[in-house]
A and B are shown apart, each in its own frame.
Chain A
Amino acid sequence: MGALFTKDTQAIFWNNNASAIQRMLDYDYVINRVKPSVAAIVAPTSGNKFEKFFYGPDEIMVPVFRNTTEAAAAFPHADVLLNFGSFRTAYDVTMEAITLKGQFKTVMVTAEGIPERLARKMNQAARDAGVVVIGPATVGGIAPGGFKIANVGGTIENIINSKLHRAGSCGLVTRSGGLFNELSNIISINADGIAEGVAIGGDRFVGSVFIDNLLRMESNPEVKYMVLLGEVGGTEEYKVIEAVKAGKIKKPIIAWCIGTIAKHFSSGVQFGHAGASANADAETAAYKNEAMAAAGIHVPASFNDLPQTIADVYGKLCAAGTIGEIVEPALREVPKVRRKKEFICTISDDRGDEATYAGYPISSVATPETGFGIGDVISLLWFKKRYPKWATDYLETVIKTVADHGPAVSGAHNAKVTARAGKDVISSLVTGLLTIGPRFGGAIDDAARYFKYANDRGMSPAEFIDYMKKEGKTISGIGHRIKSVRNPDLRVSGLKKYAAEFFPSTPLLDFALEVEKLTTSKKDNLILNVDGTIGILMVDMWRALGYSEEEIDGFIDAGALNAFFVVGRSIGFIGHILDEKRLGMPMYRHPTDDILYNVELADEI
C-alpha cells in the first residue's frame, strides 16, 4: 500500500504509441526524473530493436521487444505495464503480464469494449495475483512529480497550469477519463493540486474500483483528503460509504456522482459510459449522492458547486495545519523546436577533450603501461565491454593464429595478382578481403553456428553427425588436408591448451571433441581443425562472460567471427602485397597451357 507510483517507477509500454510515450518522456524531463519512465516498448510486429524519442533537447533510445516476457526479463524493475492493446488483444496482453510472477504491480488497460466475460476473468486473475489493474477504458493515472501514464494531463502547458508537475495533497479518483484533467484543474484552482490520481475506467467491469484506490490513498501519507467523481450505474460508491462508516477511511472525502439527468428520462437514453445505466433506484446518481452525504461525505448541491466544496474542505485542512505550504520545485523546459538525429553512435565519442573508446580516453588504452592490448581495444569497440585478461588474450591469440596461411590460398593469391597489376595497397587488400566468404575463411562462422545449434538442442555427437548428413552438409570445422590424429595441428593444440588453462569452462569444445572422436574413428584426418576450434572457443568465451545464448547467436549472425578473421588475415594480405611491391614483380598472366579450352560455336536461337 502507500503510493501507487514514485519517481523511480518505470513502465513497459505495450504498443508503440509514439505520441503518448513522447508525452511521458517530456513530463519526465520537465520534472527532473533521473530515469525515463518508459523502460521498454513491446511491439509484436515491429522489426526494430529500439525507437528514438526526445528527452529534453536530446534523443534517447528505448528498446523494443516482441513480447512482454522478453521485455520484463530485460527490465526486471519495470513494475508497471501500460497495456495499449486493442479490445481484441488487451485481455491476452494482461494475462501474459499477470503470469510473470513478481514483475508487475500495476497493469493499466486502455482499451474500451473488451468483452465483459474476458474483462471479468482478467480482473479476477489480477486480484488473485495481487496485481492492480487500472481500467479497462481509462486514460490512466498520475503521481504528480513522479510518474505519469501516457496522455493523462494532456499538454505540458496544461500539466503545469493544473499543477500536475508536483505533488499536492488531494487523492483523486474518477470514473471518467475525460473529466480527469478537468478535476485536476478544479483542484489546482481551489486547492494545492493532487498527490495521486486514478481514472478507474468507464467499462462495466473495471479492475480496481473506487474503494481499492481510496483505501490505498488513506494509507498514503501524502494524501490529505480525497475527491471521488462517480457516475450513475453500479453500486461501487456504497462500498466507499461502508468503509467511511466502519472508520476504515478517516480522511475527508468530497464526492459527486454525475448522471443526475438520467432520472428525467425512461430507459433508452444511454448517458455516457457503458457502465452508466441504473438498473435500480440505488444505482441512480441522485440516490448515491444522498447516501454519500448521509454518511458524512462532502457532497455539493450540484456539479457546478463542486469547486466551492473543494475550496472549503481544503481551507479547513490548511487552517488545522494538516496541509502545509508546498515548495514549488524547479522545472526544466522542453525546447519548442527539436530535431531528430540521422545517425546513432554507441561505441565512441569525439566531442570531449579527448576521443573515447566506450568511455575510455584513447590515451588511457594506447600505450603499453596502460596494460591494454589490441584485444582490449576490440572488446571496447566491438562489444562495448571491458573483457577480462584471459578473454582479451584469447582474442589476440585468434588474430595471431589466423594472420596468414601462405601465398597459395585464394585470398592471398588474389591480393598478389592485384598488386602485380600495379594497384595500390588498399585495392589489393580489398581484393583479398572480398574473397572471404563461405568457402574461404567461412568455416569459423559455420563451425560456431552448427556446433552451437546442436549443443543448444541437446543433440548427442552421433545425432549431430546424423543431422548434418540429413541436411547434406559437411561439418564445418572438421577435417584437414594433411593433419590427422597422428600428425596433430599444433595451432589447435595450442588453442586447446590455452583454453584448458584459462577458460572457466569449455562446454562447446568438450562437445566438439566428442564429435571429433566419432569422425576420426571413421577417417583419420577428420579432426577438429583450427577454424572449428577458434569458432567454438569463441562461443565458450562468450558463454563464460555471461552472454545469453540469444546474444551469442546475435554476434554470430552479425558476422563478428568473420570479423576476427578479417582483422587477422588483413595482416597477412598486407604482408603479401608489400612483398610483391618489394620484389617489383611484373603483371601476372596465367599460362594458357594451364587452362582447358572447350569452346563450341554458339547455337542460333
Chain B
Amino acid sequence: MAQRAIREYDGKAIFSKHWEKYFSGFHYGFKSVLVTSGDELRACAQKHGFEWLKQEALVAKPDMLFGKRGKNDLVLFRTNKPGDVTLDEAAKWIDEKISHETTLLSGQHGTLTHFIVEPFTPHSQDQEYYISATTVGEDDVLYLSAEGGMEVEEGWEEKVNEVTIPITMDDANIAHLIRANVPAGIPAENKDRFIAFAEQFYKFYRDLNFAYLEINPIVMIGNDMHILDLVARLDDTAGFMMGESWCGAEFPTAFGMEDQSPEEKAIAEADSKSGASLKLTILNPMGRIWTMVAGGGASVVYADTIADLSGNVADLANYGEYSGGPTTGETKFYADTVLDLMTRHKDPKGRDKILIIGGAIANFTDVAKTFTGIIQSFETYADKMKAVGTRIYVRRGGPNYEKGLKDIKEAADRLGLYIEVYGPETHVTDIVRMALEK
C-alpha cells in the first residue's frame, strides 16, 4: 500500500510502549485519552489510572489527522485563562463539537468525531522545541529547531537545521552528524540532552518504520518530555514485521473525505479477502461515464482520457480497477456493484450512460474467464441498463481475448444491449473517443 497517517493518540501510544528502550533517562507520562463523546470522557475519568482527568487542568482537541488545530480554534485549553479547563467543561465542549458540521480554514468540512484529551502543561515558549523526521528522495532527513510551535513554520529556512542521513549510514556517524548540526539556539544547559533525545528520536522513527514523525512542540523540562502535538505516518507495508509494536494503530480516512459508501466498503472488503486486486472509488454518483477497467495503469489512462476528451470531469462517475486474476465470482460481484450504481439515476440531461469495459493487453489473466462474471452481471441488470439508456464499449487483449470478446458481444446482443467490442488492434483508450463522438 503506502504511507498512511495515524492518529496523534496512537502515535503517542507507540512512543509510550517503546519509551524505555529508546528514551531511558528521559521521562514521558503518556497521559492521553481518545474519546468520541463527552460521556465517554466522563466514563474514562472513573477508571483506575485516569484520575488525572478529574485532578488536572485539561486540553482537548480533535484527533482526526488534520493540522493547524490552533489556528482553526479547535484546541480547548482555557475557559477564562489558560489551564483552567475542567473535565466537565471538556466533555461539554466535545459534545458541542460533535453536534454540528465543522469547516476548516482549508475548506475541508465534516463532522468531528474523535478527540484527544490530555493534561494542560504549563511551560514557557523557550522550553518548546521542534523535531521531525521523514524521507526525502532516497535519504532520511531529521529536522531540528530550537523554536517549536506555530512559529517554526514562519521562517523555516533560518530556524530549522536539516540533517540528511543516508540509508546506509551507521549509528556512530549518525550520532556525529546530529551533534554537528544541533541548532545554535538550544541553550547550553540543554544541548547534550537535546542531542541525546534527537539521536534516539531518529532511531525510533527508523526502527518503528515511520514514514513521517513530527513533534511540534516538544517541551523539555529537565528530563521530562512533553509531547504536546504529534503528527505521524507509518509505512504500512512494514506492518507484517511490526506486529504489536504499532499498538494496533488504525489508519482513519482523512477528515472531510466523505466516508466510504456501502458499495466502496463492500469492494474494499472483497479486495482484502482476495488474492486479486479490486478497487472502487465513486467520484460522482450522477456521472454519465462508468468504468470497469482491468489493471492499475490502464485504469489511470482511461480516467485521464475521459477527463481530457469529455471536457467535463464531472462526467466521470467512478475510478477503480480489477486485476491480478480475479475469479468469475469476484468479477461478477464487482460488475454487479458498478452496474447497480450506474442504473440508479438517469442522466439529468437525458443522455445515454456510457459503460467502458477497458483494459490493456493482459500478461496472464484469462480474459474470457473474467468476462464470464461480467456477462452474468449483464443478465441481472440488462433491464435496468436499458431503462437508463446504456452504451457499452469494450476493449481488451491478452490470453483468450478473442473468446472473451465474442462471448460478451453475443450476450449483449441477446439481451438487447448496445455494445461495441475491440481487441488489441485498437488503441487502448480509443473507445473513449468513439463513445464520446457518437
Contacts and interface: CB of A to CB of B under 8 A. Distances in A.
Interface of A: 19, 87-88, 113-118, 120-121, 123-125, 128, 139, 151-155, 158, 161-162, 174-179, 181-182, 185-186, 189, 202, 204-205, 231-232, 258-261, 264-265, 267-274, 276-277, 285, 302-304, 307
B362 to A, nearest CB: 6
Contacts of A204: 2-3
B432 interface: yes
A379 to B, nearest CB: 46
B249 to A, nearest CB: 16
Given A123-B138, A154-B363, A269-B283, A302 B309 contact: yes
11 contacts: A87-B240, A113-B237, A114-B237, A115-B209, A115-B237, A120-B135, A185-B361, A265-B283, A269-B319, A272-B299, A304-B427
Contact of B364 (A115, A154, A161): A154
Given A269-B283, A274-B1, A117 B235 contact: yes
Interface of B: 1-3, 135, 138, 166-168, 206, 209, 211, 235, 237-238, 240-241, 253-254, 257, 281, 283, 295-301, 303-309, 313, 316, 319, 323, 360-364, 397-399, 424-425, 427-430, 432-433
Contacts of B399: 154-155, 158
B304 A303 contact: yes
Contact of A261 (B304, B428, B430): B304
A155 B400 CA distance: 9
Contacts of B360: 178-179, 181-182
Nearest to B364: A151
A158 B300 contact: no
B397 A158 contact: yes
A256 to B, nearest CB: 9
Given A139-B363, A264-B313, A189 B299 contact: no
A178 B319 contact: no
Q: Can you list the 3 inter-chain pairs with the closest CB atoms, starting with the nearest?
A: A176-B297, A178-B295, A115-B238
Contacts of B168: 121, 124-125, 128
A171 B2 CA distance: 30
B427 A261 contact: no
The binding surface of chain B is classed by DSSP as mixed
B209 A261 contact: no
A202 B296 contact: yes
Contacts of B235: 115-117
B363 A304 contact: no
B364 A179 contact: no
Given A124-B168, A151-B364, A304-B305, A116 B211 contact: yes
B424 A117 contact: no
A232 B297 CA distance: 11
A116 B1 CA distance: 10
Contacts of B362: 154, 181
Nearest to A117: B209
A189 B423 CA distance: 13
B303 A304 contact: no
A367 B323 CA distance: 66
A303 B313 CA distance: 16
A260 B308 contact: yes
A304 B297 CA distance: 14
Most buried by B among A118, A139, A155, A273: A155
Contact of B300 (A87, A205, A272): A272
Contacts of B307: 260-261, 264
A179 B297 contact: yes
Nearest to A179: B297
Given A115-B241, A189-B425, 9 more contacts: A152-B363, A155-B398, A158-B424, A177-B297, A179-B360, A259-B300, A259-B304, A271-B300, A276-B300
Contacts of A181: 360-363, 397-398
Nearest to B306: A261
A155 B364 CA distance: 7
Nearest to A202: B296
Counting chain A CB atoms within 10 Å of each CB, which of B257, B281, B304 scores highest?
B304
B237 A124 contact: no
Contacts of B167: 117, 120-121, 124
Contact of A268 (B238, B257, B425, B433): B257
A118 B253 CA distance: 26
Contacts of A139: 363
B237 A116 contact: yes
A578 to B, nearest CB: 65
B309 A261 contact: no
A269 B309 CA distance: 21
Contacts of B305: 302-304
Contacts of B2: 204, 270, 274, 277
Contact of B301 (A87, A151, A179): A179
A197 to B, nearest CB: 13
A273 B2 CA distance: 9
A114 to B, nearest CB: 7
A272 B398 contact: no
Contact of A151 (B295, B308, B363, B427): B363
Nearest to A176: B297
B211 A178 contact: no
B281 A269 contact: yes
Contacts of A155: 398-399
Contacts of A19: 364
Contacts of B1: 113, 274
A175 B298 CA distance: 12
A303 B301 contact: yes
Nearest to A113: B237
A304 B364 contact: no
Contacts of A175: 297
Given A87-B237, A185-B424, A269-B283, A178 B323 contact: yes
B298 A182 contact: yes
B364 A261 contact: no
Contacts of A153: 363
A260 B316 CA distance: 14
Interface centre among B168, B299, B363, B425 (most CB of A within 10 A): B363
Given A154-B364, A189-B425, A116 B397 contact: no
A285 B308 CA distance: 13
B254 A178 contact: no
A92 to B, nearest CB: 12
Contact of A158 (B237, B296, B309, B398): B398
Nearest to B296: A272
Given A155-B399, A162-B361, A272-B300, A179 B295 contact: yes
Contacts of A177: 297, 363
Contacts of B240: 87-88
Contacts of B308: 260, 302-304
A551 B299 CA distance: 53
Contacts of A152: 363
Contacts of A125: 168
